[in-house]
Structure formats: C-alpha cells, structure tokens
Copies of this chain bind each other. A is one copy, B any other.
Amino acid sequence: MARRYVSIKEVAARAGVSFQTASKVLNGGNVRVSAETATRIMAVAKSLGYRPNTIARSLVRRTTGTIGLIASDATDVAISHFSVSVEQAARRRGYAVLVGHLAADGADGADIVRMLIERRVDGVIAAAPQVEDDSEVAQLLRTYVPAVSLHHVPGGQVPVVGSNQGETGRLATEHLISHGHRLIGSVTGPFRRRVVRSRLRGYEATLLAHDMEPHEDLVVEADWTPGGAAAATRLLLERVPETTAIFVHNDAMAIGVLSEVAATGRRVPADVAVVSCDDMPFAEYLTPALSTVRVPLGATGERAVDLLLQSITGTAVSAEPLLLPVELINRSSCGCADPAAGGRMTRRPHDEMTR
C-alpha cells in the first residue's frame, strides 16, 4: 500500500541529474542529452515506477488531454454504443474521456457540463437528446469549451454529427410500400426530438410520393423504451386495426412492438410487418429477425471525436451537420427474408469469445 507517486525530482536525484534534464528525456523529444544519461534516467524512472503527473503537466500546458462526454443513461442502448466508440477513438488519439450520464428526468445537464468545465476538459461531446431542450447547457457549451453534438443544441453554433434521419424514414417506408402495404403505422420517439421529426418527415414524404395520405392516427408517440412502445402499439392497433405495417424508431422499442402485436393475436410479418431503426446486435436474433435501418453509431462516434479534435486545435469546423449514410438491413420482420436462410437474410459471425 505504498500509494505514493514518485516525482520527476526523485527520478532525477537518483539518476544524478537535475529534474529539468530528466523532464526532457522523459518527454521523449530527442533533445540534446547524452545517450547514456538518457538511458540512465529512463532506467531509474522505470525502476522507481515513475508515472508522470498529468495534473501538473496540464496546469502548465493549459490543456488536459481529456474530453468530456455528456450522455443519456443506459436505457438507450444506441447511445451506449456511441459512447463506447467515442471513448475508444479518443483514447487512440491520446485523449481520455470524462463522462456524465443525465438523470432520467434530464435535469442535471448543466451540473454535468459545469463538472466537465471545472475539470478543464479540452472539449465536450454531447450525446443526449435531452440537451436539445436545455439552453443552460447550450450556453455553457458555447461560452466555455469547444463542443460537438449528436443532437441539435439550442442556439446553434455547436457542430452536429449524426446520420441522415430523413433518409432513415424514407428507406423504411419505401420498403414497406414496395411490399404492398398501404396502412403503415409508426411508433416513434418523443415528437419534440428532431430525430423523430426528421424520420417522420421522411415517412410522410414517402407516403405522399406514393399518393398515400399520412394520417395522424397512424403515428403514435412513445419514449424509446420497449414498455412505452408496447403501449403505443396497443393504441395504434386500437385506432387503426387494419394496420398492416409498423415503422418503429429504434430496436429497443421494436421488442415492445413485436410483443404487443403478438399479444393482439396478430403475427409478424404475416399480419403486421415491422421495420425499425438502429440495428443493434440483438436485432437479427429477435423472433422474427428484425428488419431495421442500420445507423452507423460506431463510425459516428469516431467522426464526433475527429471533429471535436479539429475544433480544439482551431481548425474551422463546418456549421453544416455531418451526416453519415444509413442502410436498410433486410430480415424477416418485414416479410422478405429468404426462407432458405432459416428466416434470416444476414447473420453476422459473432464476436470472438474473449470475455
């Protein structure tokens, strides 16, 4: 239980040099130091278990090599995936990540950002839909630290990365229409979210393009959770029992939709076809395998980090949202899987058994 860090001064003392010299060689730069003193210093550092104190370093360098991540809680699996990819990408580039997860009511956004700011993160990535409503968060972000967001931030000025949500709605709807569906319902996230509105716009535009009239009874708001989606589905099928297809806004809700459709005695896809969004790893193993528009969350995380680092180093960052392409993954829940493939169109090899 030593628990005492050795400082560069001790290393220097043991090596018989001044601590500034030690600093030079320990910081890697091939500064003018004789090879032998260098190796001696390195050896001592190693034997003493020297770990640079980045706190002290940050103080003088005025950057911490740390970025902040403000994310929603674990209920949103998609955001978890995004967060992980952000952290891994950041670390690959030499940055550490300080996280804050919003409470379920989303009330502590500003607290989180303040925490990040006081710890002097070099930048912040926001991955929490709730921040769309939080002007205090927006204000803090705008005045104190470079930021990138997965969602629109009130007042703008914060670059947005994400994927083409209108296209997501269009792809799903187009596909269902091409299968002959005419009464296509939708179980959505909260209406006030831009993602939701964009997807809905894609959905409606596609209906109109096929001479079909969108009807508000067919669109039911839910809350991204399976439970909320199940309730919404019940409502939808009560209002419009003839519904033959449902476009769901995420895979977690799709679980609830499948459950409730079954509970009403209907079969998927025979009676009701389902297409979702996200393509989480479990999607292809639902019964029936879920057709879904794949949202490239991993790639989005990396782009978010890249963008943020650019913005940190002062490179101008486009004000236009950076939108990554989405792709429809066709499985059986929409009725078009190849039966020969055992009810699944695609099956990815599963991860190595490393854990």
Residues on A close to B: CB < 8 A? 2-3, 5, 49, 51-56, 58-59, 64, 66, 72-77, 80-81, 83-84, 87-88, 91, 96-101, 103-106, 108, 111-112, 114-120, 129-130, 143-146, 189-190, 193, 221-228, 230-231, 252, 255-256, 258-259, 262-263, 281-282, 284-287, 289, 342-343, 347-355
Are the CB atoms of B259 and A120 closer together than 8 Å? Answer: no
Known: A72-B355, A104-B352, A190-B355. 15 other contacts (CB 8 A): A5-B144, A53-B59, A54-B120, A66-B98, A73-B84, A74-B81, A87-B100, A96-B119, A97-B99, A221-B353, A222-B353, A223-B350, A223-B351, A223-B353, A227-B347
Report Cα–Cα, A251/B114, bound state, in Å. Answer: 36
Is the Cβ of B230 less than 8 Å from the Cβ of A285? yes
* B285–A255 CB distance below 8 A: yes
Could you tell me the distance between the alpha carbons of A223 and B238 in the complex, rounded to whole angstroms? 41
Contact yes or no, B227 A348, CB < 8 A: yes
Q: Tell me the smallest distance from the CB of A355 to a CB of chain B, in Å.
A: 5
Q: Are B3 and A53 in contact (CB under 8 A)?
A: no
Give chain B nearest CB distance to A11 CB in angstroms.
Answer: 15
Q: Are A80 and B88 in contact, CB atoms less than 8 angstroms apart? A: no
User: How many copies of this chain are found per oligomer?
Assistant: 2
| Pairwise interchain contact B355-A106, C-beta atoms closer than 8 A | yes
- Chain B residues contacting A120 (CB-CB under 8 Å) are 5, 53-55
Please state if A130 and B255 are interface contacts (CB–CB under 8 Å): no
CB pair A226–B285 under 8 Å, yes or no, is: yes
Residues of B within 8 A of A105 (CB): 352, 354
Cross-chain contact of A106 among B286, B287, B354 (Cβ < 8 A): B354
CB closest residue in chain B, given A353 = B223
Instruction: Identify which of B64, B282, B348 contacts A55 (C-beta below 8 A).
Output: B64
Task: Give A227's nearest chain B residue, CB to CB.
Answer: B350
> Which B residues lie within 8 Å of A348 (CB)?
227
| Contact partner, A52, options B2, B3, B58, B118, Cβ 8 Å | B118
* Listed A/B pairs (5) with beta-carbon separation below 8 Å: A51-B114, A74-B84, A226-B281, A227-B284, A252-B281
Taking CB as reference atom, which chain B residue is nearest A231?
B350
With A55-B119, A87-B99, A282-B255: A353-B228 Cβ-Cβ less than 8 Å? yes
Q: Would A227 and B349 count as touching, CB distance under 8 A?
A: yes
For A157, give the chain B residue with the smallest CB separation: B1
User: Nearest Cβ distance between residue A226 and chain B, in whole angstroms?
Assistant: 4
Given known contacts A355-B76, A355-B193, A286 and B255 CB-to-CB distance under 8 angstroms: yes
Taken together as a complex, chains A and B put the C-alpha atoms of A145 and B51 apart, in Å, by 12
What B residues does A284 contact at CB under 8 A? 226-227
Measured between beta carbons, the chain B residues less than 8 angstroms from A77 are 74, 77, 80
- Decide: A353 and B87 in contact? CB cutoff 8 A: no
With contacts A286-B259, A289-B259 known, is A75 near B351, CB below 8 A?
A: yes
Distance from A89 Cβ to chain B, minimum over Cβ atoms (Å): 11
